[in-house]
Protein backbone atom coordinates (compact mmCIF):
# COMPACT_ATOMS: atom_id res chain seq x y z
CA UNK A 1 0.00 0.00 0.00
CA UNK A 2 2.84 2.39 0.86
CA UNK A 3 4.50 1.66 -2.48
CA UNK A 4 1.28 2.52 -4.36
CA UNK A 5 0.91 5.79 -2.44
CA UNK A 6 4.53 6.73 -3.12
CA UNK A 7 4.08 5.89 -6.82
CA UNK A 8 0.93 8.04 -7.04
CA UNK A 9 2.60 10.97 -5.28
CA UNK A 10 5.60 10.66 -7.60
CA UNK A 11 3.53 10.54 -10.81
CA UNK A 12 0.96 13.26 -9.98
CA UNK A 13 3.38 16.20 -10.15
CA UNK A 14 4.37 15.07 -13.68
CA UNK A 15 0.86 15.57 -15.07
CA UNK A 16 0.71 18.88 -16.92
CA UNK A 17 -2.35 21.01 -17.42
CA UNK A 18 -2.75 22.84 -20.73
CA UNK A 19 -5.00 25.88 -20.71
CA UNK A 20 -5.95 28.57 -23.22
CA UNK A 21 -6.92 32.05 -22.05
CA UNK A 22 -8.45 34.76 -24.19
CA UNK A 23 -7.32 38.37 -24.15
CA UNK A 24 -10.00 40.91 -25.06
CA UNK A 25 -10.07 44.61 -25.87
CA UNK A 26 -12.35 47.15 -24.14
CA UNK A 27 -15.22 46.14 -26.46
CA UNK A 28 -14.96 42.45 -25.52
CA UNK A 29 -13.42 41.47 -28.87
CA UNK A 30 -10.89 38.64 -28.57
CA UNK A 31 -7.43 39.93 -29.51
CA UNK A 32 -5.31 36.92 -28.58
CA UNK A 33 -5.41 33.27 -27.57
CA UNK A 34 -2.67 32.53 -25.06
CA UNK A 35 -1.72 28.91 -24.34
CA UNK A 36 -0.23 27.85 -21.02
CA UNK A 37 1.26 24.65 -19.65
CA UNK A 38 1.34 24.63 -15.85
CA UNK A 39 0.81 28.43 -15.74
CA UNK A 40 3.73 29.12 -18.10
CA UNK A 41 2.95 30.80 -21.43
CA UNK A 42 4.01 28.47 -24.26
CA UNK A 43 2.21 29.96 -27.30
CA UNK A 44 0.34 33.10 -28.33
CA UNK A 45 -1.94 33.69 -31.31
CA UNK A 46 -2.60 37.38 -31.94
CA UNK A 47 -5.93 37.93 -33.74
CA UNK A 48 -7.49 40.62 -35.89
CA UNK A 49 -11.04 40.10 -37.16
CA UNK A 50 -10.85 36.48 -35.89
CA UNK A 51 -7.83 35.75 -38.11
CA UNK A 52 -4.39 34.90 -36.74
CA UNK A 53 -2.00 37.73 -37.64
CA UNK A 54 0.93 36.62 -35.48
CA UNK A 55 1.83 33.32 -33.85
CA UNK A 56 4.62 32.63 -31.38
CA UNK A 57 5.57 29.47 -29.52
CA UNK A 58 4.08 26.02 -29.95
CA UNK A 59 0.61 24.86 -28.96
CA UNK A 60 1.20 21.85 -26.71
CA UNK A 61 0.00 18.39 -27.73
CA UNK A 62 -2.96 17.02 -25.82
CA UNK A 63 -6.20 18.39 -24.44
CA UNK A 64 -6.28 22.15 -23.94
CA UNK A 65 -9.00 23.49 -21.68
CA UNK A 66 -10.56 26.93 -21.72
CA UNK A 67 -12.40 28.38 -18.74
CA UNK A 68 -14.65 31.38 -18.16
CA UNK A 69 -12.74 34.58 -17.33
CA UNK A 70 -13.23 33.94 -13.61
CA UNK A 71 -11.82 30.41 -14.04
CA UNK A 72 -14.85 28.73 -12.48
CA UNK A 73 -16.59 27.04 -15.43
CA UNK A 74 -15.04 24.87 -18.14
CA UNK A 75 -15.93 26.38 -21.54
CA UNK A 76 -13.95 24.28 -23.99
CA UNK A 77 -11.78 21.21 -24.50
CA UNK A 78 -9.81 20.86 -27.71
CA UNK A 79 -7.21 18.22 -28.50
CA UNK A 80 -4.12 19.32 -30.44
CA UNK A 81 -1.42 17.29 -32.14
CA UNK A 82 1.57 19.07 -33.67
CA UNK A 83 -0.23 22.42 -33.46
CA UNK A 84 -3.40 21.22 -35.22
CA UNK A 85 -6.82 20.25 -33.90
CA UNK A 86 -7.12 16.49 -33.82
CA UNK A 87 -9.96 14.46 -32.33
CA UNK A 88 -13.04 15.56 -30.44
CA UNK A 89 -13.48 19.21 -29.47
CA UNK A 90 -16.17 20.29 -27.01
CA UNK A 91 -17.68 23.66 -26.18
CA UNK A 92 -19.80 24.22 -23.08
CA UNK A 93 -22.38 26.87 -22.20
CA UNK A 94 -20.38 29.44 -20.22
CA UNK A 95 -23.16 30.11 -17.72
CA UNK A 96 -23.84 26.47 -16.78
CA UNK A 97 -21.01 24.28 -18.01
CA UNK A 98 -23.51 22.06 -19.88
CA UNK A 99 -22.24 20.64 -23.19
CA UNK A 100 -23.20 22.93 -26.08
CA UNK A 101 -21.56 21.15 -29.01
CA UNK A 102 -18.98 18.57 -29.92
CA UNK A 103 -17.17 18.19 -33.22
CA UNK A 104 -14.42 15.96 -34.56
CA UNK A 105 -11.27 17.29 -36.21
CA UNK A 106 -8.77 15.45 -38.35
CA UNK A 107 -5.62 17.34 -39.30
CA UNK A 108 -7.22 20.68 -38.29
CA UNK A 109 -10.35 20.16 -40.43
CA UNK A 110 -13.84 19.13 -39.42
CA UNK A 111 -14.17 15.44 -40.13
CA UNK A 112 -16.96 13.42 -38.59
CA UNK A 113 -20.16 14.06 -36.73
CA UNK A 114 -21.05 17.39 -35.16
CA UNK A 115 -23.62 17.35 -32.37
CA UNK A 116 -25.23 20.49 -31.00
CA UNK A 117 -27.23 20.50 -27.77
CA UNK A 118 -29.67 22.91 -26.16
CA UNK A 119 -29.12 24.54 -22.75
CA UNK A 120 -30.89 21.61 -21.07
CA UNK A 121 -28.54 19.06 -22.63
CA UNK A 122 -31.01 17.77 -25.25
CA UNK A 123 -29.72 17.09 -28.77
CA UNK A 124 -30.77 19.88 -31.17
CA UNK A 125 -29.21 18.59 -34.39
CA UNK A 126 -26.37 16.67 -35.96
CA UNK A 127 -24.33 17.19 -39.11
CA UNK A 128 -21.52 15.29 -40.81
CA UNK A 129 -18.29 16.67 -42.22
CA UNK A 130 -15.51 15.17 -44.30
CA UNK A 131 -12.17 16.89 -44.84
CA UNK A 132 -13.63 20.24 -43.69
CA UNK A 133 -16.72 20.11 -45.92
CA UNK A 134 -20.33 19.62 -44.88
CA UNK A 135 -21.60 16.36 -46.40
CA UNK A 136 -24.93 15.90 -44.64
CA UNK A 137 -27.43 17.53 -44.51
CA UNK A 138 -27.41 19.96 -47.44
CA UNK A 139 -25.92 23.39 -46.75
CA UNK A 140 -29.41 24.91 -47.16
CA UNK A 141 -30.93 22.61 -44.54
CA UNK A 142 -27.94 23.06 -42.27
CA UNK A 143 -28.25 26.86 -42.45
CA UNK A 144 -31.96 26.64 -41.72
CA UNK A 145 -31.40 24.61 -38.56
CA UNK A 146 -28.05 25.87 -37.33
CA UNK A 147 -28.92 29.56 -37.47
CA UNK A 148 -26.24 31.76 -35.97
CA UNK A 149 -24.39 28.86 -34.33
CA UNK A 150 -22.64 27.90 -37.56
CA UNK A 151 -20.72 31.16 -37.42
CA UNK A 152 -19.15 30.01 -34.16
CA UNK A 153 -18.73 26.31 -34.89
CA UNK A 154 -17.67 25.82 -38.44
CA UNK A 155 -14.65 26.30 -40.57
CA UNK A 156 -17.05 25.99 -43.51
CA UNK A 157 -16.48 29.17 -45.57
CA UNK A 158 -19.33 28.26 -47.95
CA UNK A 159 -22.04 28.56 -45.28
CA UNK A 160 -24.68 31.24 -45.76
CA UNK A 161 -24.34 33.72 -42.90
CA UNK A 162 -28.01 34.55 -42.46
CA UNK A 163 -29.56 34.01 -39.07
CA UNK A 164 -32.70 32.02 -38.39
CA UNK A 165 -34.22 33.22 -35.09
CA UNK A 166 -36.47 30.12 -34.82
CA UNK A 167 -34.55 27.09 -36.04
CA UNK A 168 -36.17 23.64 -36.01
CA UNK A 169 -35.16 21.38 -33.12
CA UNK A 170 -33.18 18.76 -35.05
CA UNK A 171 -32.07 17.58 -38.45
CA UNK A 172 -31.07 14.05 -39.31
Q: What is the pLDDT of residues 36-93, one digit of tens each?
A: 999 999 999 999 988 889 999 999 999 999 998 888 999 999 999 999 999 999 999 9
Residue 134 has what pLDDT? 86
Residue 4 has what pLDDT? 44
pLDDT greater than 90 at residue 103: yes
Is 143 in contact with 123 (CB distance < 8 Å)?
no
Q: What is the pLDDT of residues 131-163, one digit of tens each?
A: 998 888 766 776 666 654 544 444 444 433 333
Residue 25 has what pLDDT? 92
pLDDT greater than 90 at residue 18: yes
Q: How many CB atoms lie within 10 A of CB 168?
A: 12
How far is 168 from 76, CA to CA, in rounded Å?
25
How far is 41 from 33, CA to CA, in rounded Å?
11
Residues found in the chain? 172
Amino acid sequence: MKILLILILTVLPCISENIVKLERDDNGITTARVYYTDDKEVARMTLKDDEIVKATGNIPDGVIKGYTDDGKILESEVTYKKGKKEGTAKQYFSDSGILWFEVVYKNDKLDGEQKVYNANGGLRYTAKFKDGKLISPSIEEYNKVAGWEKLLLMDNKDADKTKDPNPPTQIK
